[in-house]
Structure 1
Amino acid sequence: MRRLPPFPDLRAFLDHATAQGDLARIADPVSLRHEMTAVQLAALRRKGPVLRFDTHDGPAMPVIANLFGTRGRVAAGLGLLPDQIPAFGEFLASLRSPAPPEGMRDALSRWPVLRAALAARPRVMTRAPVQQDDLPGLDALPVQTPWPEDGGPLITWPVVMTRPHGSQAGETARYNLGVYRAQVLGPDRLILRWLAHRGGAAHHRGWMRAGQPMPVAVALGADPALLLAAALPLPETVSELGFSGVLRGQRTDLASCRTVPMLAPARAEILVEGWVHPGDTAPEGPFGDHTGYYNAVEPFPVMRVTAITCREAPLYLSTVTGRPPDEPSVIGEVFNELALPVIRAQIPELLDLWLPPAACSYRMAVVRIDKRYPGQARRVMMALWGMLPQFSYTKIIVVVDGDLDIRDWDDIAWAMATRMDPARDVMLVDGTPMDYLDFASPLEGLAGKIGVDATTKIGPETARAWGREMRLDPAHLARAEALLAGILP
């Protein structure tokens, strides 16, 4: 399925972008405080290239930004062309529940699936590129301070690796990988901001209950497959390390950390090692977030850094989070397409699902269904809210019929105006989980949800005869287009 070669590290991906004319070097000096943010967002809004800042007011190390600023580059990070994303989603769905082969011919046709399974097994290197050199401390990194009221320098693309208490360093299938923002407190102290429902936080609670420090490894400048696997909302039973091998089409190379009992990406640009000790927290923030607002200051665990290793002439990868469009919202659009086949496997009548990026990606969902019976729209709403952890934060679901384009706001508005009665077709649910960064919720982490049934009402859903929709003959529409082709632009 892959049309692009595997990218074993960030540099290989940057070489590909350069060959495509999709990387720009910024030679003029740029400040790490706020100014670099403005440049990144301006490039992203123009669907611009990957940016390499060679001159800035921080430590002498190039900064790479806007890596996944376009849908095409997110697809390339998966080894795909953009038109292959839907088919790749079907392939990933088949890996979750493969059907038994029917004869040798069918078994041979499934070689890509077998190859993907093999690629899911990491391998350990004895000589790791990321351990070629050492850095004296976190102050040797050109870390941005993205927004004017931010509490300090913020590492924004860290792949934070943890493992549960009682596990061994070699049990990589039990590792959790998450992209958690990390505030720099000093040369050897880093705040790790993981929310309570995240895998890293669950591991942290286990070590704290045992009264033991937790080993942590943080990879900076990882390869695109590892970055995307860490960002994906995967089920808890799926290993991000293994899944990155599937995405990459190549096994993930790991290496033993020097000062903590962990394995970590051998081909990352920079590797930060350390421990999180019981009760060691610090106030984190405020920081600008994907909602377009600053977060409140709250205590989060502190990582005591024990070693920082790097490649020769390392690159520092950064991004900016803010009100969409931003890089996470671009990634979220692609993830929406990849997740659709998995969702349809659980909800077969679901034809399409759109998470509008402007609604912070997951806060709102518009769903198109093949409606066949009364109450079906409400069943789909409840199924979505309970299906994946990310949908527990979706506070608005609008369900429409299969004849509409859910990515067209005019179609959505028309359906809500003509196929929905507020008293009958709105379902309100109270006291449900919510992202505590949602300041509109009455309580932190607990809020209501609304489901809007904007489908045509059938059977006992209405006591009135439903109106007949006006439609022209398709032949007449085609004739009109032909007549006007040479007249109108």
Structure 2
Amino acid sequence: MHLRSLPPFADLSAFLNHFESGGELTRIAAPVAVELEATEIHRRVIAAGGPVLRFDTPCNSAGKPFTRPLVTNLFGTRERVAAGLGLDAADLRRFGQFLAALRAPSPPKGLGAWRELLPVVRAGLAARPKLVSWPKALEPQQVDLTALPVQTCWPGDAGPLITWGMVITRPPGVDDPRSYNLGIYRMQVLGPDRAILRWLPMRGGAKHYRMWEDLGEPMPVAVVIGCDPATLLSAVLPAPEGVGELALAGAINGRRTCLAPCRGIEMHVPVSAEIVLEGTVQPGDSALEGPFGDHTGYYNDAECYPVLQLSALHARADAPYLSTFTGRAPDEPAVIGAAMSDVFAPLLTQAVPDILDVHLPPETCSYRMAVLSVDKRYPGQARRAMMAFWSLLPQFTMTKYVIAVDRDIDIRNWSDVMWAVATRADPQRDLMVLERTPVDQLDFASPEVGLGGKLGIDATIKIGAETNRPFADRLTMPEDLVSRVDGRWEELFGGT
């Protein structure tokens, strides 16, 4: 169950102070351009597993400095992702078990089981957002996005891009934070008070926008740039069905998320926010977004998306501007995705007991390929497991390739996985091709935008009706011999 090993971080500044005190934050005093230069520095640092970067003097292409520092690489390592959840990296799977328990709690069987259920009960109590007054530290600012150190990440980008904006939307009707959707959607800056909101059709923000558009009414939108890490990560976590992101943030922190009413729209935002943008999206108001460099390692096509018209901007006096870049791994989305593999696994195995574990290799753009460990017991089971995987979470509908292997294969070892594909799969029997299924709109390999194929590879040993010939025995050494050689290793090689 989820038991924090770190105290809750009240806001982004507290999180940054934690890393700085531990030597995991580097301040860069020299001027650094937000156009391309900051991205190139970030690329090299994240590839080396380096620290959080705080650029104290970010400047524009003309060398004029911005008044706010730029922070990048916040979640550039698996350990920092876990720290955002209050955990050591080794406990990410335990956190996944906690989410699985929230999704479908098991009835207690005795006093010990009741004790194990207590974290879930506490999480339920902490899940209800708490409404408070507007924090005085969030002061009104001139509505001018160009005054923020917004990065232009790649040379072919259409313009500056807000990359860590946590977009908060709600359905029409009464303003009820329990119905909110929190999503990290990129935002192309068009000018001081206009930005494009880019979201995929299956995302919560897009769903809310369609509801407002059907009514012909403007949709209120709040955008938070920087806040406590639990809320930030809740916006990208696989929240259990019926558990909103704000409720999940409260469960992670072990205390209710405090929300304050916006100044000019009927919305609430976390009081831990560093920078808050308020505005509306008018029905039908859209603009051409992109192209921008993306996680695939390519530029995506330009497409039309809704435009946010800003009406207010509030910020803390010392608020840093949180940003990142998106490109071919390693980048922060890939690091977060790799860490989330351990979080996904318990949810997946709970819903599909045939699946023992899952690995989403970051080098395959995080979710484009998955390797499943299957507890093979009957013919056709691997195919069933692959189809169940594609159906479980919205993220998995974007997965193009799924490889199913037996439990004796290390799914995090490409050598092992490829050996299984080469020796346990037959192309005419074990390839399962699905046509015209939903795929990532940024996938240039698909013949149509948002529509393409999927491939399942059954790399398990075939049993029963799956084959007409017995499978050969795997080469293994007797365990007692392995132990005996282990015991003689120092004698034979002097400890080398």
Equivalent residue letter for 1:36: A
Q: Deviations over 1:116-147 (max 9, x none)?
A: 11111111221415523424411221100011
Other structure's SS at 1:271 match: strand
Q: CA separation in 1, counterparts of 2:445 and 2:116?
A: 51
CA deviation after TM superposition for structure 1 residue 93, in Å: 0.8
1:158 matched to 2:165? The reply is yes
Task: Indicate if the aligned counterparts of 1:130 and 1:269 stay in contact, CA closer than 8 A.
Answer: no
2:226 is the counterpart of 1:224: no
Q: Distance in 1 between matches of 2:483 and 2:413?
A: 22
Of 63, 68, 73, the match for 1:66: 73
Contact in 2 for aligned 1:159/1:222 (Cα 8 Å) = no
In 1, the alpha carbon distance for the partners of 2:392 and 2:117 equals: 28
2:203 pairs with 1:201: no
| d(CA) in 1 for partners of 2:246, 2:444 | 34
Q: Distance in 1 between matches of 2:162 and 2:136?
A: 21
Distance 2:242 2:37 in 1: 41
Cα deviation digits, residues 54-93 of structure 1 (max 9, x gap): 0121421111110000000000000001111111211221
Correspondence for 2:371: 366
Q: Distance in 2 between matches of 1:177 and 1:366?
A: 29
Asked whether 1:267 is paired with 2:272, we answer: yes
Residues 103 and 269 of structure 1, relative CA distance in 2, 3 Å threshold: same
SS of equivalent residue, structure 2 residue 33: coil
The answer to whether the 8 Å contact 1:8/1:248 transfers is no
The unaligned stretches of length 5 or more in structure 2 are 61-65
Residue of 466, 482, 489 corresponding to 1:484: 489
Alignment map for 1:350-361 (pairs within 5 Å): 350-361=355-366
**Partner amino acid for 2:178?**
A
Q: Tell me how far 1:237 sits from its aligned partner.
A: 2.9
Pair 1:126-2:133 in alignment: yes
* Number of the residue aligned with 1:95: 102
Check whether the contact 1:159–1:177 (CA below 8 A) recurs between aligned residues.
yes
Q: Is 2:5 the partner of 1:3?
A: yes
Confirm whether residue 343 of structure 1 aligns to residue 348 of structure 2.
yes
CA distance in 2: counterparts of 1:340 and 1:136, whole angstroms: 43
Counterpart in the other structure of 1:52: 54
Specify the code of the residue in structure 2 equivalent to 1:442: P
3-state SS of 2:325 partner: coil
- The residue type equivalent to 2:378 in the other structure is Y
- Contact 1:130 1:268 (8 Å CA) reproduced: no
What amino acid does structure 1 have at the position aligned with 2:272? R
Q: How far, CA to CA, are the matches of 1:85 and 1:235 in structure 2?
A: 16
Q: CA deviation at 1:102?
A: 4.4
State the alpha-carbon separation in 1 of the partners of residues 13 and 92 from structure 2: 23
Letter aligned with residue 453 of structure 2: G
Helix, strand or coil for the counterpart of 1:278?
Answer: coil
Among 42, 45, 70, the alignment partner of 2:44 is: 42
Deviates more, 1:76-85 or 1:54-63: 54-63
Letter in 1 for 2:210: R
Aligned equivalent of 2:328? 323
What is the CA–CA distance in structure 1 between the aligned matches of 2:69 and 2:344, rounded to whole Å?
A: 34
Q: Name the structure 2 match of 1:24.
A: 26
The verdict on how the C-alpha distance between 1:312 and 1:373 changes in structure 2, with shifts beyond 3 A counting, is same
- Rounded Cα–Cα distance in structure 1 between residues aligned with 2:209 and 2:378: 46
Separation in structure 1 between the aligned mates of residue 193 and residue 306 of structure 2, nearest angstrom: 14
SS in 2 for 1:110: helix
Code of the aligned partner of 1:151: A
Root-mean-square deviation over aligned CA pairs = 1.4
Which residue number in structure 2 is paired with residue 307 of structure 1?
312
Which amino acid in structure 2 is aligned with residue 83 of structure 1? Answer: A
Distance apart, 1:362 and its partner CA: 0.7
In structure 2, do the counterparts of structure 1 residues 110 and 269 end up closer, same or farther at CA, with 3 Å as the change threshold?
same
How far 1:477 sits from its partner (Å)? 2.0
Q: Which amino acid aligns with 2:52?
A: V
Q: Return 107-116 or 177-186, whichever deviates more.
A: 107-116
Find the aligned partners of 2:218 and 2:14 in 1 and give their Cα distance.
Answer: 36
Question: Counterparts of 2:112 and 2:194 in 1: how far apart (Å)?
Answer: 57
Deviation at 1:107, TM superposition (A): 3.5
Give the corresponding residue for 1:334: 339
Note the 1:238-249 alignment, pairs <5 A. 238-249=243-254
Q: Which residue of 2 aligns with 1:137?
A: 144
| 2:85 counterpart residue number | 78
Distance change >3 Å, CA 391–CA 272, structure 1 → 2: same
Give runs of ≥4 in structure 1 deviating > 6 Å: none
Q: Is 1:181 the equivalent of 2:186? A: yes
Does the C-alpha gap of structure 1 residues 136 and 383 become closer, same or farther in structure 2, counting only changes over 3 Å? closer
Percent identity for Structure 1 against Structure 2: 53
Deviation at 1:36, TM superposition (A): 0.2
Q: Tell me, in whole angstroms, the C-alpha distance in 1 between the residues paired with 2:136 and 2:169.
A: 21
For residue 373 of structure 1, what is the amino acid of its counterpart? Y
2: CA distance between counterparts of 1:462 and 1:278?
A: 57
How far has the Cα of 1:383 moved from its partner? Answer: 0.7
In structure 1, what is the Cα distance between the partners aligned to 2:261 and 2:137?
11
Q: Say which of 225, 239, 252 aligns to 2:257.
A: 252
Q: C-alpha displacement at 1:418, in angstroms? A: 0.9
Shift of 1:481: 3.4
Decide whether aligned partners of structure 1 residues 315 and 129 sit closer, same or farther in structure 2, where only a CA change above 3 A counts: farther
C-alpha spacing 1:317/1:243, structure 2 compared with 1 (3 Å)? same
The alignment partner of 1:373 has SS state of coil
What letter is aligned with 1:264? V
* TM-fit CA distance, 1:103: 5.7
- Aligned match of 2:63: none
Give secondary structure in 2 for the equivalent of 1:52: strand
TM-score (norm 1): 0.97
Aligned length: 487
Unaligned runs of 5+ in 1: none
Q: How does 1:437-448 map to 2 (within 5 A)?
A: 437-448=442-453
Shift of 1:347: 1.2
- Indicate the SS of the match to 1:302: strand
SS at match of 2:335: helix
Q: Residue 207 of structure 1: CA displacement?
A: 0.7
TM-score (norm 2): 0.95
**Separation of aligned partners in 1, 2:284 and 2:143:** 26
Q: Which moved more, 1:399-408 or 1:240-249?
A: 240-249
- For the Cα contact (< 8 Å) 1:430–1:448, is it kept in 2? yes
Moved more, 98-107 or 446-455: 98-107
Q: Corresponding residue for 1:394?
A: 399
Cα deviation for residue 441 of structure 1 reads: 0.5
1:451 to 449, 456, 459: 456
Structure 2 CA distance for aligned equivalents of residues 466 and 101 of structure 1: 43
Cα 1:173–1:130 shift into 2, 3 Å: farther
